[in-house]
Structure 1
Amino acid sequence: MLETVNKVFQTFGASVLVPIMIFVVALFLRVKPKTAMMSAFYAGVGLTGFGWIITMFTPVVTKIIKQMVNNTGIKLPVVDIGWQAGSLASFGSSVGLSFFVFGLIAELILFALGITKIFMASNLWNNFGFMIWGTLCFYVTHNFWLSLGLSFFMLLYALALAEIQADRWSDYYGVKNASVSSLHNIEQTVPAIILDPLWNLLGFNKVKMTPDYFKRKLGVFGEPTTLGALLGIIIGVLGNIRALGTLHAWGQILSFAIQLAAVMTIFPLVTGVFAKAFTPLAEEIDKHRENDGDAESTFEDLIQDKKRWFLGVDDGVGYGEPATIISGVILIPIMVIIAFILPGNKSLPIVDLISLPFMVESIVAITKGNILKVIANGIVWFSLGLYAASWLGSVYTGAVSHYGVAIPAGIVLITSFNLMARPLNALIFAAFISQNPLWIGLAVLVYLILLYALRRYRPTIWQYLKRMSDKNAGYSGSNQKINY
């Protein structure tokens, strides 16, 4: 059975299976078949568009980053080759495939029982984020049930974090009743909340580093397209710092500037198409609320509504939002430099640097698009993540190669900056592979306390996060961010 599931998924891929899931969910929500079909098509078109852009742009970014690395002469033994290898390995293991099948059932049960208010089943594709950690655990411990339990446990806490930031994400990105929930991009909720008082103490909340401010103050130079070109020139110069006197170098620099400007321009358009897949579903949730007598709901009504629930949507929905993509691109050279100077770090981020806009979405939403705070949070959290990726280098390399993924020639150890540079995930992984009931029990206890607080104090948590968000100078609405 598991082999059949793997063959089906590998044959059709996310761009086919995700639209099918969207279509089924839409019909379940009583969306008209015609609208449900268009939602499914928009999902497929959006995923295909993301795939095309990232597939074309990744080699370009990778080449520039490798040149930056070569210019320094610093060699780090754990090399980031992208999340795709981890995804393939997770589908090649019995633990991973078991979770793909039974995890979907668990997601439906958790939602039906009210343990979570996130309908994760609509974000089927990102289950590989849970699968890869179970796969690594099985490679280390050879304990199938412990490893499968780890994947399920990570699902539980990811859903809790997704619900905590759901109101802020939905409000900021302008997608009603939706939240990102993928494991590899949800844990940034933690630093975004914990570190915010520190940034406010330093006055970061008063700094108007937002796309809207750039537009008003810089005019054409504040447009995402122009900012993309300027950032492209800066990154291109860093990648050609030893050859700036050559025609070839400037050809590459200016070409990269245009290519990055194109990404900054086109990605929001694709994002808009992809978001259309979820709009009818979110509107249907609102209709159900109106039918229950909650029409014209205020913010206070929404946060007090115990029946309010959210669709788990793909992170691609927010990738093209200006503050998100600008913050992510700015972090690219910063994280490369940090990788070189961070004491004890062995991990070199390369291919997954293009995923940085995905990785900062929760921070962007919680900080109301304050780019300075996003960068500050990213520096702190992803620096800790580099240590996690360094520690996991040998385990990740062994598991990926064991489950059928070829390691590039000349590379000793590999990692995925997007999947493995995860401090919180790494701590939970460490607790489970210890096979010590005390550490595993402690992890479970922390989750149960978090779940209890969320179920009992969800309105209070959301009110606090809104007040925290409103302290930031910047965007006051969502209509300028993603156009549907």
Structure 2
Amino acid sequence: MLNNIHTFFNAFGATVIVPVMIFIIALFLKVKPKKAMMCALYAGVGLTGFSWIINEFTPVVTKIVRQMVDNTGIKLPIVDIGWQAGSLASFGSPVGLTFFVFGLIAEFILFAVGVTKVFMPSNLWNNFGFMIWGTLAFYVTHNWWISLGLSFFMLLYTLLLAEIQADRWSRYYKIENTTVCAAQNIVQTVPAILLDPLWNMLGFNKANLTPAAFKNKFGVFGEPTTLGAILGIVIGILGNLKDLATIKAWGQIFQFAIQLSAVMTIFPLVTNVFSKAFTPLAKQIDQTRKQNANQQPEVDPVHDKKRWFLAVDDGVGYGESATIISGIILIPIMVVIAFLLPGNKTLPVVDLISLPFMVESIVAITDGNILKVIANGVIWFSLGLYAASWLGSIYTGAISQYGAAIPAGIVLVTSFNLMARPLNALVFAAFISQNPLWISLCIIVYLVLLYILRKYRSQIWIYLNKMAAKNVHAKEDLKSSPKD
């Protein structure tokens, strides 16, 4: 049965299965069939657009990064080959495939009984983010129940973090009642919340570093299209330091500048199409919420205990200006850090293009303060490099066993997007120890946090909104737009 399900999903792929799910959910929410059909088509078109752009741009970025690496002469033993190999192995392992089927059922139940206020099945394709950890655990322990339990636990705390940041995410990315819920990207909520008071003490909140500020200060040179070209030239030069006297090098530099400029220009357009798949659903959720609660439209939804959120693909936020600019700036920074970090064995390469996905929660919580996003990213992803280094041999063995090919000439591989996760790695370590004490501690911490969230959700959201409002640009936005 599991093999048949695997074959079915492989045959149709995310660009078909996700729109079908969106159509069903839209009808369930009582969206008119014509509008539900358009939501489904927009989802398919958006996913296809993302795939085309990233698939075309990834080899270009990878080539530049490899040239940066070659210029340094430093070799690191664990090479990032991208998240795709991990996804393939997840669907090829018995534990991963079991979770894909029964995890979907669990997501319905968790939402129905109120454990979570996030409806995860709308983003079922990102379930491989839970499946990969169960796959790795099964490779190490050969314990079916521990491994499957780990995947389910990853789901539980991902849903918890998704709900904590839900109000901020939906406010910042301007799609009501939605949030991202990908296991590989949601954990950035933790450093974004914990470190924000520190950044404010250091005055980072006074730094007006946002796309709007760039545009106001620099005019045409502050536009995302122009910034993309400038960043492209800088990254291109870093990748050609030894060959700057050649025409070939400058040809590549300016080609990369145009290519990055194109991504910065086109991706927001695709994002706008993709967001159209969820906007009618989000509005319908809000309308139903108000009707059921017999509320007036002016009532602040922050205080509504019955408010729930639709989990959306993190592609919705990728093209937002502060998100994509922060992610692109972090590309050369993380390459340099990988070489300078004592004890690090991981070389991030292919998944560097995923950095805009990886910073979305940070962007939302810091209200698009690019300086804070980069500072958070440097600290958290540096810790993530250590996590990926520790997991290198386990990850390589697991994906080799469950169907992913290792590129020739590479001994150990990883995925910077999937494995550079300090919190995930700690939970993984607790479960593969098979020590009841450590596993119980993980569960107790989760239950305490869940209790706090259920009891103080409104206060948590209000606190995060107050923290976001402390940024200088947020205050200026409030002055210029009182309604917001």
For the criterion TM > 0.5, the same-fold answer is yes
Structure 1 CA distance, aligned partners of 2:295 and 2:280?
19
CA contact (8 A) 2:338 2:348 kept: yes
Q: TM-score, normalised by structure 1?
A: 0.98
Name the aligned partner's letter for residue 166 of structure 1: A
Q: Cα distance, 1:343 vs. partner? A: 0.1
CA contact (8 A) 1:369 1:475 kept: no
CA contact (8 A) 1:117 1:310 kept: yes
Which residue is equivalent to 1:363?
Answer: 362
Which residue is equivalent to 2:87?
Answer: 87
Q: Cα distance, 1:166 vs. partner? A: 0.2
Which residue is equivalent to 1:382?
Answer: 381
Which residue is equivalent to 2:52?
Answer: 52
Structure 2 CA distance, aligned partners of 1:135 and 1:16?
25
Note if 1:425 corresponds to 2:417.
Answer: no
Q: Cα distance, 1:368 vs. partner? A: 0.3
Structure 2 CA distance, aligned partners of 1:21 and 1:100?
15
Q: Cα distance, 1:290 vs. partner? A: 2.8
CA contact (8 A) 1:122 1:313 kept: yes
Which residue is equivalent to 2:352?
Answer: 353
User: The residue matched to 1:195 in structure 2 has which SS?
Assistant: helix
Unaligned runs of 5+ in 2: none
Deviations 1:99-158 (A, max 9, x none): 000000000000000000000010011000000000000000001111000000000000
Q: Cα distance, 1:409 vs. partner? A: 0.2
Report the identity percentage. 74
Q: Cα distance, 1:295 vs. partner? A: 3.0
User: The residue matched to 1:175 in structure 2 has which SS?
Assistant: coil
User: The residue matched to 1:49 in structure 2 has which SS?
Assistant: helix
CA contact (8 A) 1:289 1:295 kept: no
Name the aligned partner's letter for residue 440 of structure 1: I
Which residue is equivalent to 2:172?
Answer: 172
Which residue is equivalent to 1:405?
Answer: 404
Name the aligned partner's letter for residue 303 of structure 2: Q
Name the aligned partner's letter for residue 89 of structure 1: A
CA contact (8 A) 1:210 1:475 kept: no
Note if 1:373 corresponds to 2:364.
Answer: no
CA contact (8 A) 1:136 1:395 kept: yes
Structure 2 CA distance, aligned partners of 1:120 and 1:347?
32
Structure 1 CA distance, aligned partners of 2:131 and 2:289?
35
Name the aligned partner's letter for residue 320 of structure 2: E
Note if 1:451 corresponds to 2:450.
Answer: yes
Name the aligned partner's letter for residue 309 of structure 2: F
CA contact (8 A) 2:468 2:474 kept: no
User: The residue matched to 1:440 in structure 2 has which SS?
Assistant: helix
Structure 1 CA distance, aligned partners of 2:320 and 2:111?
29
Which residue is equivalent to 1:437?
Answer: 436
User: The residue matched to 2:242 in structure 1 has which SS?
Assistant: coil
User: The residue matched to 2:472 in structure 1 has which SS?
Assistant: coil
Which residue is equivalent to 2:102?
Answer: 102
Structure 2 CA distance, aligned partners of 1:297 and 1:366?
24
CA RMSD, 1 decimal: 1.1
Count of residues in Structure 1 that have an aligned counterpart in Structure 2: 477
Structure 1 CA distance, aligned partners of 2:15 and 2:232?
30
Unaligned runs of 5+ in 1: none
- 1:300-319 residue pairs with structure 2 within 5 A? 301-319=300-318
Name the aligned partner's letter for residue 46 of structure 2: G
Which residue is equivalent to 1:145?
Answer: 145
Name the aligned partner's letter for residue 326 of structure 2: S
User: The residue matched to 1:414 in structure 2 has which SS?
Assistant: strand
CA contact (8 A) 2:129 2:183 kept: yes
Q: Cα distance, 1:474 vs. partner? A: 2.0
Structure 2 CA distance, aligned partners of 1:165 and 1:112?
20
CA contact (8 A) 1:177 1:309 kept: yes
Structure 1 CA distance, aligned partners of 2:185 and 2:96?
19
Structure 2 CA distance, aligned partners of 1:353 and 1:294?
45
User: The residue matched to 2:44 in structure 1 has which SS?
Assistant: helix
Structure 2 CA distance, aligned partners of 1:305 and 1:97?
37
User: The residue matched to 2:473 in structure 1 has which SS?
Assistant: coil
Name the aligned partner's letter for residue 340 of structure 1: F
User: The residue matched to 2:179 in structure 1 has which SS?
Assistant: strand
Structure 2 CA distance, aligned partners of 1:294 and 1:259?
49
User: The residue matched to 2:335 in structure 1 has which SS?
Assistant: helix
- 1:260-275 residue pairs with structure 2 within 5 A? 260-275=260-275
Structure 2 CA distance, aligned partners of 1:128 and 1:33?
30
Q: TM-score, normalised by structure 2?
A: 0.98
User: The residue matched to 1:179 in structure 2 has which SS?
Assistant: strand
Bigger drift between 234-243 and 1-10 goes to: 1-10
Q: Cα distance, 1:289 vs. partner? A: 2.2
User: The residue matched to 1:311 in structure 2 has which SS?
Assistant: strand
User: The residue matched to 2:310 in structure 1 has which SS?
Assistant: strand
Structure 1 CA distance, aligned partners of 2:156 and 2:230?
42
Which residue is equivalent to 1:205?
Answer: 205
Bigger drift between 273-282 and 468-477 goes to: 468-477
Deviations 1:354-409 (A, max 9, x none): 00000000000000000000000000000000000000000000000000111000
Which residue is equivalent to 2:187?
Answer: 187
Structure 1 CA distance, aligned partners of 2:4 and 2:362?
38
Bigger drift between 282-291 and 126-135 goes to: 282-291
CA contact (8 A) 2:177 2:282 kept: yes
- 1:38-77 residue pairs with structure 2 within 5 A? 38-77=38-77
Q: Cα distance, 1:475 vs. partner? A: 4.7
Note if 1:121 corresponds to 2:121.
Answer: yes
Deviations 1:195-249 (A, max 9, x none): 0111001000000000000000000000000000000000000000000000000
The runs of 4+ residues in structure 1 deviating greater than 6 Å are none
User: The residue matched to 2:241 in structure 1 has which SS?
Assistant: coil
